[in-house]
Structure 1
Amino acid sequence: MTIWDGLIWGGTALTAVGLVALVWCIISAARAKARVTDDATMRELMRRVMVVNMAALAASVLGLMFVVLGIMLGR
């Protein structure tokens, strides 16, 4: 196993973590929409979900960049 293989597998793991976090965001937003009727409470919940959503998107993008970099440099 070379360093490039490690970069590929590390990027894959980071992308998977990002995707799991994105699924959590979708489920949390759906639950909040079904349960919360107060506008202020909904805004606070969505503010927290949005922070996790942005972090999850960043993790997924970085993970995919690592995978592509490992594939390109490993050949």
Structure 2
Amino acid sequence: MQALVWIGALITLIGFAGIVWSLLKVMKARREELSDDELRQRMQKIVPVNLGAFFLSMLGLICVVVGVILS
């Protein structure tokens, strides 16, 4: 079950990288001083990636917990 822990940790890191990427994209969009409509359009493109990254992180953490419990 140690493999499950490492796989879960890898999935969590990938999800965390997605969260950081979406955070950086939002910060960049806010610094560009776009109009409200343009900013909203950019945010609508970033939100699905952000939610997917949170889901990946959650799945990875679940794998880690299950791996630790089964060890």
* TM-score, normalized by the shorter chain, greater than 0.5: yes
Instruction: State the identity %.
Output: 31
TM-score of the aligned structures, taking structure 2 as reference length:
0.94
1:28 alignment partner in structure 2:
25
Unaligned 5+ runs, structure 2: none
Letter in 2 for 1:41: E
The CA deviation at 1:36 is: 4.0
Letter in 2 for 1:15: T
Q: After TM superposition, where is structure 1 displaced by more than 4 Å over at least 4 residues in a row?
A: none
Aligned partner of 1:13 among 10, 14, 23: 10
Q: Spell out the pairing of 1:1-75 with structure 2 (5 A cutoff).
A: 4-74=1-71
SS at match of 1:37: coil
TM-score of the aligned structures, taking structure 1 as reference length:
0.89
RMSD: 0.8
Instruction: Report which of the two structures shows the higher radius of gyration computed on alpha carbons.
Output: 1
> How many residue pairs get matched?
71
Unaligned 5+ runs, structure 1: none
